[in-house]
Structure 1
Amino acid sequence: MYAFSGNPRTVSGDVSAVQARPGENEVILYYLRDDGNYADWNLHLFPREPATGDWTNFSGAETCVVEGTDSIGGYFRITLPPNPCYDAGPDPLEAFPEVLGVVIHRGDTKEPNADLLIRIAETGNIVFVESDSAEISSAPPGGGGAVAIVGRAAHWVDRNTILWEPDDSVVEVELAWSPDASIGIRGLDITGNSESAVLSAGTNPEPVNQLHLADYPAFAVPASVADNAEEIARYQLVLVGRDRFGIPVEATFVQTPGLLDSLYAANATGVDLGVTWTGTTPTIRLWAPTAYPEDGVTLNLYSAPGVPEQQVPMTYDDASGVWSVTGQSGWDRMYYDFTLTVYTYAANAVVTNTVTDPYSVSLAADSRHSQVVNLDDQDLKPAGWDELALPAYGEPEDISLYELHIRDFSAADETVPNELRGKYKAFTLDNTDGHAHLQGLADAGLTHLHLLPSFDIATIEEVRADRVELENTVQALCDANPAAAGLCPQYSALTIRELLVQETAADPTSDLQQQVVNWMRDLDGFNWGYDPWHYGVPEGSYATDPEGVTRIYEYREMIQAIAAKGLRTVIDVVYNHTNSSGQAEKSVLDRIVPGYYQRYNEDSGAVETSTCCSNTASEFAMMGKLMEDTLIQFLEDYKITAYRFDLMSFHPKAQMETILAKMQAIDPSVYFYGEGWNFGEVASDRRFVQSTQRNMAGTGIGT
């Protein structure tokens, strides 16, 4: 039996874990959810007896949030007015009303779906409510509360081993899995549609690509689980720690990249993913080992962008985790994407995603679909492409290079026809200022032209009509961005470029120029391009037609024209991050195999963003394979022999050396160099031996 200060009755049940304590004139409201997720749940408070007016607005600031969690559940602290979160502006009070009405909600969703009534004289000032019950109780329902599932701090690193640093009070560890993501922890029980198994002490394998886990305690997976790891790895996974009384005191979700590598990498790394060809017949393959097999993976074919033609089920290979389908010659140049059902950590739910191919070689405009294309087709090659011999340059130390942005090379060059400015084709013109400049540099001894990122970029509208450029009128900017509307009464007929030139001539210190540039941000085509979406496809906004294969032909024309000037091409590659992750619209990898391709914080499980955006994890086999395969594609299909790696230090040293050796076996003149900075979650070889400047000495890779 227990007694709380402020509670007129003794209560029974296990309430020893209650950590929150009310102060004078405060009420603690414990809120118990099976999913342990208390983010963004708010209180709406309104006195009922007497009804003196609401303390909060239901659709107001929504800042009366959970103060904290313990092994019972989440808890709110309710005080007397005034309180900063009481946005209805109630008058100050010296005592609680006899009956206080409460709604627990997230936006318009109420859980429980009822008005709750707290009668402090009866229940006391520590009360409990479950998300599926409108009953206010003086003790945790069922004699115990819900343990919150916090972070993704456990790591299933191979078929037999899970690594985790639980609290010192944990003496038993249990793995639970649920195909419908319904795991909860209530009292002594793991609830939901789930199964579980107790783990035993294990041995840490100290994986070389996860050195930061080398000191973690290891737990051995029982044979019954290890033998079914391929199936279980698809599901919601939770590790539960129990104390010496068998009471759950801690729980966390489980990260699985190491497990997936141990199950599939040996077979999957040798599979040609994306579209491959046998004569005129395409085969399409996708690595998606965690896709639910009962739903399968569907290949969606389109006769034109947005025009569905056919849906084809794909076949699963248990050994590699690869789904495949062999098509017909008529699929050539059709568009496609995939539909699959997966559990995703990002929503803690089972979802169905339709997503493009990470191995795309061609795309619809704005990357709406992938396209079935054979890069060896003759109509995709400019005359003389197969015979093109690149200029000789000697040894790597003889390289002299010039960094250039494809769009900026010709965007304002009046000697280039307007329709070709900012395009690949501008490099093919002989009688332009840009050509004369590059030819002069080549004649002076320049050997390489370094192009800023030219793969598919996530943040440029590829269709010209959808962008607002300097050549557009100010009226177009006002229409696209209401914040700029104040310009139009005076300047609507001018082009934006004319406005900037005019304003600068009148007052170089004016703030207007910078304001206009800010208003154009995300509307124009100006973008350095360090924002990868599909690594193996040339960017569409630089093509005269972003729809389909024109970008392939014109990219090759550009490389050919650069070579004709006596220069080799360097491309800037950005494999250290993607534009998006999780369930975001422009997330590709993380919607196909959630929780694998990105790099995640070892405790919270959040995607690391130290590079700027959603970091990738090339230390794992299939992200490394994607990197290797697309690099080799640019060598073999686009004749690129030099590569500058953005934040190369975020890739393992051994990986860089291996890929270089494979590419030099194809063409000995291939050269790598990259940024060797030492920072972020991988700094000082914390996760693996990095490609930092210090480490790369003697490898033949420049930094």
Structure 2
Amino acid sequence: MKGDTISMSAYMDDFSMITIVVNKPFSVSPSLSLVDDNKVVQPLTIDEQEHYHNQMIYKCRTRMPIHLKNRYWVMINESRIPLMIGSIVRTPKFDSLYYDETSLGAIYTPESTTFKVWSPVAFAMKLKYKTQKSNTFIEQKMSRTEKGVWEITLEGDHHLTEYLFVVNVNHEWVETTDPYSKSVTANGVYSVVIHLPETDPEGWNRSGKKINLRSKTDSIIYEVHVRDLTIHSDSGVVNKGKYLGLTELGTKTPNGFHTGLEYLKSLGITHVQLLPVADFGSVDETMPDSAYNWGYDPVHFFSPEGSYATNPYDPSCRIKELKTLIHTLQQNGLSVILDVVYNHVYKREESPFEKLVPGYFFRYDNGGNPVNGTGVGNDTASERKMMRKFILDALTYWMSEYKVDGFRFDLMGIHDVETMNLAAEKLTSLNPGVFLLGEGWDLNTNLEPEKRATLSSAKKMPSYSFFNDAFRDHVKGSIFPDGQSGFINGNHDERIKHQMKHVMRGYSGQNSTFIKPEQSINYSECHDNHTLFDLLSIRHPFEDEFLRRKRQQLALAFTIFAQGVPFIHAGQECFRTKKGEENSYNLPDTINAFDWNLVESFHKEVDYFKQLIGIRKSQPIFLESSAEFLEWIVPDGGLGFKLHLPNTDIKKDTSYWSNALLLFNQTTKPILIPLEKNTWTLAIEDEKYYNRLINEDLYKLEALSFSLLYSV
């Protein structure tokens, strides 16, 4: 058998099984054996063989168990081929043998720094580092523990020391950054040791805990991209597109309208949700204006992104400026939710995960190919013990070091229920008021459906709120322009009206999706897909823009007053457009920038948005889970709901409403609604605020409008 006529590879698939893959069958039964570094030879026997994608697969058994401390070769007659890491790392035994609770990463003190990294499959490991005083890198051998953690301690103060791990895996040496890097150099070339107290901004209380006990239903979430909100030429912000841009006070447009932080403060929202701020790979940090991205392509999960820092070359700068942003928002009464992306990595092959323990941190199909439920080429395996530990460690770090108030989990349905519940338990112990929410879409990943953290698992995950796609789809219709339209589009289908009754109640109860309304994130627009303004422009191309804006305002009223948690995409209140682009994740600022001229043009509509928020926040009838939610009979084309707050101590305050009436008209003509005379007071009518008693028997609900009435 000659090497140029047959190609072969061999993999460890279990502790006593080796898989040999060849491009064509052996003509005669070969002599097979396994040899290690110590020249120990043991024969291999073929247990089974099969054809798979034009290849022959031979499953072979060893007589003695494989030890991962050794390197092995498979002898096939006279040929010797290296034994590579295979699915052995995805066996329960591997997880059991090598799970280690120890702290990982660069553990700093002024006297010394200990470096720890987990790689049970590495044959050898070296630390490659360069201090601030040295212009050259030094390499030192690391020692291995039984659980596969490699470590070394360097004496002295190593704050800002740059480092890599040089690892021998699969018979070759590769360099990798530290998956637990607290900071990195520009574009994540090197990991950096950080003395974290030196990154604390003025007024930062390192020992203090951030405790927020606001109920979820008393929250209004506003989704923001760091760069979008300040990059516009008329933002009045000095540090445009940077963390610090959102900390500047007193910023205004040329015509004197509030922008940036001042604008956020004025809205009445409670939570600012930041699109990903952990280090991502698609923007060159040394030329941040040359590209744009939302940030859903993570590389270093513990380090802030450098393109939002004023100096990406300074590893401390990105930390300090992100802390400054968080601290400033909180000092101005706004809680901070981070959008976190643990379901995939930017490039699997280049990830520290894959370099350190090939095949462990990701899910694979039965043929050994990465599965792609995320749509970006790889799905992380949260159910494996060290990936679960990584997620929990990262979340704990962001909460304790950056003092954030909550987390939004991108594609949470990829993760497993057990990991998410463990995360909730840990985070709640640190902050009882932590806000946890996520996308519960059911994606095609290699995990049993009942274990996935999807919408169908909501009742198993009581600490989490879920983006409610039923609310979205029944209010505005399908996210796809050629899909079914929703209530605000004038869809008269009785099924739509019937489902609207459920979504307005937060889809909670014994036979519903959620245990309680607070699990429902009610939204009609987010960073994904078209903005609502653009979608309505596509769905109603010949309609006057005024009418399309009225439809959008209907969606806003549904979002604010449905039971559950309102979620607003930045700019929704002033008809934000992305010029018809459906998926703007990598499009330029000309598409994505928050246009402050729209705030000026639609300042009355922005004020209306503030009024709706003010009413929701000030009236317990919209917040109390005990409030009764009843259908109100209205003519065709309308939808009505009556809320009633039973007798409670809250009602002793005469300014609180006992009843509220929510009325919606999806038609282009007014409709008449019977009311009890001199019973109701008008609060909102046709996007204006009133406070007058209704003294007629029939109330006229204007075309494409929302009215809010109340009684005390």
* TM-score with structure 1 setting the length: 0.56
In structure 2, relative to structure 1, the CA distance for the partners of 1:389 and 1:413 (3 Å cut) is: farther
Structure 1, residues 154-202: CA drift from partner, whole Å, max 9, x if none?
A: 953xx57x6xxxxxxxxxxxx3689xx999956211568755544889x
CA distance in 1, matches of 2:160, 2:295: 26
Instruction: Specify the code of the residue in structure 2 equivalent to 1:311.
Output: E
1:334 and 2:161 equivalent? yes
Change in 2 beyond 3 A, CA 1:626/1:596: same
Q: Secondary structure at the match of 2:294?
A: coil
Q: Does 1:273 align with 2:107?
A: no
3-state DSSP of counterpart to 2:311? coil
Alignment of 1:269-418 (within 5 A): 269-278=100-109, 280-292=111-123, 296-303=124-131, 307-317=135-145, 319-343=146-170, 350-375=171-196, 377-386=197-206, 390=210, 392=212, 394-418=214-238
Q: Residues 483-502 of structure 1 correspond to what in structure 2 (within 5 A)?
A: none
Aligned residues: 438
Q: Is residue 567 of structure 1 aligned with residue 334 of structure 2?
A: yes
User: Given the alignment of the two structures, is residue 695 of structure 1 paired with residue 695 of structure 2, yes or no?
Assistant: no
Cα deviation code 1:591-633 (max 9, x no counterpart): 1111111222221434546432322112211111111111100
What amino acid maps onto 1:257 in structure 2?
Answer: V
Change (3 A) 1:184 1:580: farther
Partner of 1:514: none
C-alpha change, 1:674 and 1:415, in structure 2 (3 Å) is: closer
Contact preservation (8 Å) 1:653, 1:689: yes
Seen in structure 2, the aligned counterparts of structure 1 residues 310 and 691 have a Cα distance that, compared at 3 Å, is same
State the shift of 1:588 in Å.
Answer: 2.0
Residue identity in the other structure for 1:188: S
1: CA distance, partners of 2:86 / 2:210: 50
Query: 2:292 maps to which residue?
Result: 526
Q: Call closer, same or farther: CA 1:695–1:606 in 2, change over 3 Å.
A: closer
1:448 aligns with 2:212: no
**SS of equivalent to 2:217:** helix
Residue 533 of structure 1 deviates from its aligned partner by 0.4
Match of 2:29 among 181, 188, 213: 188
Between the aligned partners of 1:675 and 1:183, the Cα distance in structure 2 is 45
SS of the equivalent of 1:410 reads helix
> Are 1:225 and 2:64 an aligned pair?
yes
- Please identify, of 183-192 and 280-289, the stretch whose mean Cα deviation from structure 2 is larger: 183-192
Equivalent residue for 1:424? 243
1:201-216 → structure 2 map (5 Å cutoff)? none
> For residues 398 and 604 of structure 1, what CA distance do their matches in structure 2 show?
47
Which segments of 5 or more consecutive residues in structure 2 lack a partner in the other structure? 36-41, 49-58, 77-82, 467-712
Are the counterparts in 1 of residues 381 and 387 from structure 2 also a CA contact under 8 Å? yes
In the other structure, the counterpart of 1:647 is: 411
Indicate the residue corresponding to 1:459 in structure 2.
282
The residue number in structure 2 matching 1:68 is none
Matched-pair contact (CA < 8 Å) for 1:416–1:426: no
- How far residue 389 of structure 1 moved from its aligned partner, in angstroms, is 6.7
Secondary structure class of the residue paired with 1:626: helix
Is this contact kept in 1: 2:337–2:435, CA < 8 A? no
Q: Secondary structure at the match of 1:324?
A: strand
Q: Which amino acid aligns with 2:68?
A: E
Letter in 2 for 1:463: T
Cross-structure match for 2:376: 612
- Distance in 2, matches of 1:199 and 1:303, equals 52
Counterpart in 1 of 2:87? 255
User: Is the partner of 1:275 in helix, strand or coil?
Assistant: strand
Cα 1:301–1:380 shift into 2, 3 Å:
farther
What is the DSSP-based 3-state SS (H/G/I as helix, E as strand, rest coil) of the residue aligned with 2:68?
helix
**Are the structure 2 counterparts of residues 615 and 235 from structure 1 closer, same or farther at C-alpha, using a change threshold of 3 Å?**
farther
Distance (whole Å) between structure 2 residues aligned to residue 236 and residue 669 of structure 1: 54
CA shift, 1:661, in A, is 0.2
Aligned residues: CA RMSD? 3.6
**1: distance between equivalents of 2:355 and 2:306?**
23
What runs of 5+ residues in structure 1 fail to find an aligned partner?
1-31, 35-110, 112-129, 132-145, 163-174, 202-218, 241-250, 344-349, 470-523
- Matched residue of 1:681: which SS? coil
User: Hey, what does 1:556 align to over in structure 2?
Assistant: 323
Counterparts of residues 470-549 of structure 1 (less than 5 Å): 524-547=290-313, 548-549=315-316
Q: Deviations over 1:23-55 (max 9, x none)?
A: xxxxxxxxx875xxxxxxxxxxxxxxxxxxxxx
CA distance in 1 between partners of 2:293 and 2:371 (Å): 24
Deviations 1:62-116 (A, max 9, x none): xxxxxxxxxxxxxxxxxxxxxxxxxxxxxxxxxxxxxxxxxxxxxxxxx5xxxxx
Residues 221 and 639 of structure 1: CA distance in aligned 2, closer, same or farther (over 3 Å): farther
**Aligned residues of 1:455 and 1:536 also touching (Cα < 8 A):** yes
Q: Deviations over 1:641-699 (max 9, x none)?
A: 2101111011110110011101111221122111111121247x35x611010112252
**Hey, what's the Cα distance between the residues in 2 that align with 1:236 and 1:602?**
24
Match of 2:533?
none
The change in CA–CA distance for 1:406 and 1:332 in structure 2 (over 3 A counts) is same
- Paired AA for residue 111 in structure 2: T
- Secondary structure, in 3 states, of the residue corresponding to 2:64? helix
Q: Amino acid of the residue matched to residue 274 of structure 1? A: G
Displacement, 1:342?
0.8
- Give the match's secondary structure for 2:166: strand
**Structure 1 residue 405: deviation in Å?**
0.3
Matches within 5 A, 1:121-136: 130=5
Task: Give the CA deviation at 1:236.
Answer: 7.1
Output the TM-score relative to the length of structure 2.
0.56
Q: Is the partner of 2:241 in helix, strand or coil?
A: coil
Is the aligned partner of 1:631 residue 2:410?
no
| Conservation of the 8 A alpha-carbon contact between 1:300 and 1:310 | yes
**2:115 & 2:85 partners in 1: Cα distance?**
33
How far 1:275 sits from its partner (Å)?
Answer: 1.1
Return the offset for 1:545.
0.7
Could you say if the C-alpha distance between residues 184 and 374 of structure 1 is closer, same or farther in structure 2, counting changes exceeding 3 Å? Answer: farther
Q: What displacement does 1:252 show?
A: 12
Structure-2 change in CA distance of 1:182 and 1:537 (3 Å): farther
